[in-house]
Structure 1
Amino acid sequence: MKATRLDDEHARRTIDAGFWAGNLIDGYLAAAAARTPAAVAVVDRGRSWTYGELDGAVNRFASALRSRGVVPGDVVSWMLPNWAEAIIVHLATIRLGAVSNPIIPIYRHQETAFILRQAASKVAVVPHLFRNFDYPAMVDDLRAEVPALETVVVVGGEPGRPSFGDLLAEGREDPIDVGRTSQDIALLLYTSGTTSVPKGALHSHDTLDHENRSIIEFFGLSAADVVFMPSPVGHIIGVLYGLQLPFMLGSTVVLLDVWEPGRALELIEQHACTFTVAATPFLHGLVHHASLPERDVSSLRVFACGGADVPPELIRTATMALGCTVSRGYGSTEYPTATACNVSDPVDKRARTDGRPIGPAEVRLTTDGELEIRGPELFLGYLDPELNAAAFTDDGWLRTGDLARIDADGYVEIIGRQKDIIIRGGENISAKEIEDHLVEHPAITDAAVVSSPDPILGERVCAVVVSRPGTEVVTLPEIVDWLTARRMARQKLPERLILLDELPRNASGKVQKFRLRDLARDDASREPTSTTDMEVTR
């Protein structure tokens, strides 16, 4: 697999400037295992993995993948929770010279089929069962749609299927050498945007390595730090700070697979966790959980919060409640962390802004206020090269689609979005995708989807629909059932419904979504007492 935008001149300039250091992502684990094989690398579901055990497992899994026909450039997709197995699959794939493709476990048939098909995935690794969902059965349903898929590996296993344990038993611990370079593509990660299909972003060892080295320097991290990772490892946050950064430090990562704030506080206390990066719901959950006063979380020194709108008051409250540096930050799958604040920044800046550019990151505003960014960790284009023209300016800046302002001190504040997406708890949800299904409902003649503000998740999905004449007025439960039957991921299901006689449109016929967002904001100010309370007729 080749980057769709990387050219020799760009690579040379970045290397000459010292931003790309030529490091291989999995090389940090191997080096740490050689130095301190008995040190604890991972804590997961009550079990600890040492560096020696983890590195040996990565070698064995890589060897088993190779024996099953995976070669450099092939895509290995995996759909795993925050488990040690995800670390092993990710780093083993990279060590083999193949491309790691995480898929978040909340995705279902529609999203998973698209990704496996476009990525031409050769192997997929899934859990046997997670949160009562049967992943092998889903993949069985999709096999006819993904002809490149040769092997499905099941964590937890079941008779008649290759299991994760089988592959570990098959593999050898001898180091693998396939002649890689740091400019090779290591990660294919899909991000949802304004369109109804996800976009596959390509990152190399160099771009990922620079991101983590800049974060280590910015927050002053060292081997003494313990990383707590509740963010899904199928997201860019989880990949970077759960699957890679801890091993660059030679430190420990503590994983949490199912979010529960009480359990999170327990783990932070038990393992003296010092650093985490997570979205707004995680921070809100910790700060407002009843057990917080009973837990000693004094070890925690940095909570970097991003991925969704972060209320300024939450930053101030969390700073006091947790007694640590709590900071907003701005980034994306395409450019993981462009801006943030650290301990040297005033609390007011941490609360009101999304931070200042980190290291060599550059930011600028267009005449209409859109934020554009560029720097050494900028991704190397989309798997579908036709998407690049709209994403990049002629001089190589990424068009974020986000509206911002930059204050006199250089701090960036995101004030809105051009992208027609909803960010629910850090998840990017395409409005168009949901709309495309809603308008096919027999009782709906017109539909639009907008965000509804939420103090915990940042935003929720609000459906605004026009009922078809001569039919019963559609209800929120009916809409949810309709979309569920179409196997849409749960987080995309509308949680608020507004019924209108017609959608507001401009002279060219485009829906005036700013007006619908105003309606949704007004309706969200009402405290619902039941599901039916969240249905509003206007």
Structure 2
Amino acid sequence: MSAGGLDMADSPAFTDEESARYRAAGWWSDVTLSDAVSANAQHHADRVAYVDHLGGSLTWREFDSAATALAEQLVGVGVVRGDRIAVWHGDSAAIHVLFAAIERCGAVVVGIGARAGSREVAAILRGSRSTLLISDPVRSDAATRAAFGLPILELTDTDGAPRLDVEAAGAALTSERRLGADDVFLINSTSGTTGMPKCVVHTQNRWYYFHQKAVANGHLTPDDVVLPVIPTPYGFGIWTSHTTPIYLGATAVIQERFNARATCQAIAAHRATVLCCVSTQLTMLMADRASREYDLSSLRVVFTGGEALPYRPAADFETLTGATILQFYGSNETGILSATTLSDPQPRRLRTAGRIVPEMSVRLFDGDRDVTDAGRGQPACRGPATSLGYLDGTDHDQLFTRDGWMRMGDIAEIDADGYLTVTGRTSDFILRGGKNISAAQVEDAAATHPAIAVAAAVAMPDPVFGEKVCLYTELVDSQALDLPALVQHLLAVGVSKELLPERLVVLDELPRSSGGKVAKGVLREDIRARMEAGHGRS
């Protein structure tokens, strides 16, 4: 079942000098996540490790034992070191056991979002050269099995014991399989600028560094109860639901998907002390009556990011709960560039993305020209939190400057005190609820409908999500199309729900620039005008 080992030589890597320096500073370590699970099982075996929406819970002893049993099952079905194992599964305690098991048998997790459509899943499977797909029963029906052309196993959770639906006998694990902290352990997807998502390559050490910053900034301890509500395969979800709970030995409460009332219920029921959510989710919590109906006083810290927070509701939420809101700035690719701390004054915490992290060596660029001294430009960084880049070196020149600095897709300002504020974006993305949605992906999907001749996706202002997806179209001949029909078509062909348009505007002819391209600036102005005329209705 081998995919040729861990050959990631085409991805940018850290130099030996950088690696040695990061280790000497304590930013990187030789302790892996699997090591940390074993240590937790030894030192506080009966502490709850994970509890989820299914009502089950696992102690660290049970987590450790279940991860080993799953790893032995994987070896028994032929998984070898370096295989890439795709995981398409709803968030639960079981998925974290599975991630640890894949690490223990020396394989690489290919994380796929639970809400991904079949087209996106197929593209990720091809791009990552996955050899096996593991899913839950919801996502592994007969049609799915036939469509992807590779073995598919179901992960089930019976009485708190995650198991694979396979009859093969388990095989013992050997030390040769062990992954190191600098080895690739995860490949996940990010929004691409051309049609389909790209795959980002991760080592454990980059997230170990991020974990340390979270612990230091939020004064986290093993006694904290962490409630992350971001999907696990993505960057924010990885450190909040997997890396930090495991390294810290804390308890994590896992929800299948975000819902404001259910989140408030979970905070109250489990006495959660740390909430991790994107800014839109926090805005939705602040606006929901449930935040006043449940006792949220156990909250101590809220980690958030993804977009700017509305200041007054955020300040009111702190007053209501007694929690301190901490923002950070980064991406799946770059990791953390700036962050706020418990010692920052409220205006800094709620109105900026925090102070630049010194060891991330952030610079500002205009193209490939360094404009750091001007205090405004496109942020780029080099440091211990960065990924290895895109799999197979895809879009290397877009992600990196000529001299090797990894870019963000934003325009930002850095003030004299080192605090960063995002002022705009360079890429054609729609930032919906903290998630970058590629306009090109939306357009590519919409173009599969036979009635659509030309499609252009733009951001539509929204008071809750910040932005939503608006699709402008020219139709073929005299055909007709409405939004429900388009959505029904897109779901039928396997398009991810995140890419579904939320408003459809049909024009006889889309505005064009002098070069013949669709004039998206005109469309953005048009949707703002339509929203204002309709009093903000989408």
Q: Normalization by structure 1: what TM-score?
A: 0.90
- Distance in 2 between the 1:168 and 1:353 partners? 54
Question: Displacement, 1:174?
Answer: 7.2
Q: Deviations over 1:319-360 (max 9, x none)?
A: 233321113321211123222212211211222211122352
- Distance in 2 between the 1:119 and 1:201 partners? 10
Q: Which residue number in structure 2 is paired with residue 204 of structure 1?
A: 203
Q: Which residue number in structure 2 is paired with residue 160 of structure 1?
A: none
* Native 8 Å contact 2:286 2:314 kept in 1: no
Query: Partner letter of residue 125 of structure 2?
Result: L
Name the SS for the 1:498 alignment partner: strand
* Native 8 Å contact 1:315 1:327 kept in 2: no
Q: Which residue number in structure 2 is paired with residue 371 of structure 1?
A: 379
Q: Which residue number in structure 1 is paired with residue 408 of structure 2?
A: 400
Q: Which residue number in structure 2 is paired with residue 489 of structure 1?
A: 496
Q: 1:514 aligns with which of 515, 521, 524?
A: 521
- Distance in 1 between the 2:113 and 2:316 partners? 30
Structure 1 stretches lacking a partner, 5+ long: 158-162
Query: Partner letter of residue 84 of structure 2?
Result: V
| % identity of equivalent residues | 33
1:50-449 to 2 correspondence within 5 Å? 50-129=59-138, 134-144=139-149, 149-155=150-156, 164-166=163-165, 170-171=169-170, 178-358=177-357, 360-367=359-366, 369-449=377-457
Q: Choose 361-370 or 271-280, whichever is displaced more.
A: 361-370
- Distance in 2 between the 1:16 and 1:313 partners? 43
Q: Deviations over 1:486-506 (max 9, x none)?
A: 221122111112233432332
Query: Partner letter of residue 191 of structure 2?
Result: S
Structure 2 stretches lacking a partner, 5+ long: 1-5, 368-376
- Distance in 2 between the 1:28 and 1:15 partners? 18
* Native 8 Å contact 2:156 2:165 kept in 1: no
- Distance in 2 between the 1:399 and 1:241 partners? 23
Change (3 A) 1:250 1:199: same
- Distance in 2 between the 1:168 and 1:84 partners? 23
- Distance in 1 between the 2:64 and 2:168 partners? 15
Question: Displacement, 1:175?
Answer: 8.0
Query: Partner letter of residue 467 of structure 1?
Result: L
Question: Displacement, 1:482?
Answer: 3.0
Q: Normalization by structure 2: what TM-score?
A: 0.90
Question: Displacement, 1:250?
Answer: 1.4
Change (3 A) 1:9 1:343: closer
- Distance in 2 between the 1:217 and 1:85 partners? 28
- Distance in 1 between the 2:170 and 2:19 partners? 35
* Native 8 Å contact 2:334 2:408 kept in 1: no
Alignment pair present for 1:502 and 2:478: no
Change (3 A) 1:41 1:516: same
- Distance in 2 between the 1:83 and 1:308 partners? 26
Q: Choose 3-12 or 204-213, whichever is displaced more.
A: 3-12
Change (3 A) 1:88 1:504: same
Name the SS for the 1:331 alignment partner: strand
Question: Displacement, 1:289?
Answer: 2.0
Change (3 A) 1:415 1:465: same
Query: Partner letter of residue 243 of structure 1?
Result: H
Q: Which residue number in structure 1 is paired with residue 370 of structure 2?
A: none
* Native 8 Å contact 2:411 2:426 kept in 1: yes
1:25-44 to 2 correspondence within 5 Å? 25-44=33-52
Change (3 A) 1:239 1:415: same
Change (3 A) 1:293 1:172: farther
CA RMSD of aligned residues (A): 2.5
Query: Partner letter of residue 271 of structure 1?
Result: H
Alignment size in residue pairs? 517
Question: Displacement, 1:440?
Answer: 5.0
Change (3 A) 1:128 1:526: farther
